Structure 1
């Protein structure tokens, strides 16, 4: 494992811990899209089905279990915790997730590396992760309710994707037969969705102002 992959994984983990910290510390999930969290849960669920079929390393197994556990913990708090669930911006979190889930599923059936159930589901998770942040970005744009922890959560998610691009470049240069076009193109698309957010995040940080996105 190279330093870029490790840094990306740790940044991803920190982003989730920041979100859990927000929920526990403030007893609130205001500004957080449940639809995005549901999509990420689907991503992890379908991507990590190989937990039951092959062992790669202790690190790999532990990280997969952590991402699954934390993802469903967040959903539990947002749906069922008697205090937290009352702070959910349900009226604003109205992005129609079906419009990205169905195209991703169709694309996975049509464009994949191997015609097997596990491979198609894995490919579906790659496509879905590329656009799973969309409900969250739309919610932040609608509500303008971006506290520091929520802004840092989204920023860390975008940073994690950027670090994975560096990981792919490194592996391409050091591993002669490393080619993953589906992963690369999906990852570049996903990182591109954060560009606008990054701009306003750094603008707010430079001017010491509250983060807000243009409507």
Structure 2
């Protein structure tokens, strides 16, 4: 059994080395092919595509639990972005409000649990572990994303029959979710070294965004475009899909280097310049 495991690791390592030696265009082609293959497999294996969105929220919640373990075991919040957690709490709070007044379902329960744990993480960073918080590296201004998202939501929002304020808030949380990870990526860009728990959390967030993006794509395909009509007229339906795609691509580079680091058996993840 140990011999089989060793052979598997050697094969994976050989494939990794071969992949690294390929030109950039070949790497891009292989990554896109792998993503398309994953999309096809998920579509074949998972018949109810609503489960993808539930899975995305569950994986996000698991990522938060990883952060809680880091804070509890290491007694340090080094490498974490407080601003990213605050943006996450903000879009979750707005989405939770919209869920209560517009469509109460299982997503409401999942968002409640995720918001509660995110608020706990924020409390720990702000107060209990403040001495380990690297505020000088967490230098991304939240106003750079909150204000544009609010302005965009004011002009581009759903055309449903709900109150206008609720529709604007719904659009705001969709746009803000798409860019909420940017402060965390800035922290990792500044440090170049990503601790294991932080890397696990960001990777979980990336996987959650990928599944959520697939959920929307498959919903559009299965409804033969009727979902876009149900979301309203104008640019709003396109921006919903674009927001999901943006989230996925923002984290694509990081997820690649995370997988590469895991395959190589590295305990600490190091990012090349310009990755995030």
In the superposition, the TM-score normalised over structure 1's length comes to 0.91
Count of residues paired in the alignment: 212
1:212 aligned onto 2:253: no
Instruction: Say which is worse superposed, 113-122 or 157-166, in terms of deviation.
Output: 113-122
Provide the C-alpha distance between the structure 2 equivalents of 1:201 and 1:52, rounded to a whole number of angstroms: 36
Does the CA contact (< 8 Å) of 1:141 and 1:212 recur in 2?
no
Query: Hey, what does 1:63 align to over in structure 2?
Result: 110
Question: Is 1:192 aligned with 2:192?
Answer: no
Matching residue within 156, 166, 171 for 1:111: 156
CA contact (8 A) 2:193 2:271 kept: no
Q: Provide the residue aligned with 2:134 in structure 1.
A: 89
What is the CA deviation profile of residues 20-70 of structure 1, one whole-angstrom value per residue up to 9, with x for unaligned ones? 11111111111000010111111111121135425523x233212112211
Matches of 2:102 and 2:255, distance apart in 1: 37
Q: Which runs of 5+ in 2 are unaligned?
A: 1-47, 229-236
Q: CA deviation at 1:152?
A: 0.6
Distance across 2 between alignment mates of 1:103 and 1:169:
25
Note the 1:124-203 alignment, pairs <5 A: 124-176=172-224, 177-179=226-228, 180-203=237-260
Shifted more, 2-11 versus 26-35: the winner is 2-11
- CA deviations 1:92-141 (Å, max 9, x no partner) are 11112211111111111111124711111111111111111111011011
| Distance of aligned partners of 1:52 and 1:11 in 2 relative to their CA distance in 1, 3 Å threshold | closer
User: Which one scores higher on RCO, CA 8 angstroms, separation ≥ 6?
Assistant: 1
How much is the aligned-residue C-alpha RMSD, in angstroms? Answer: 1.7
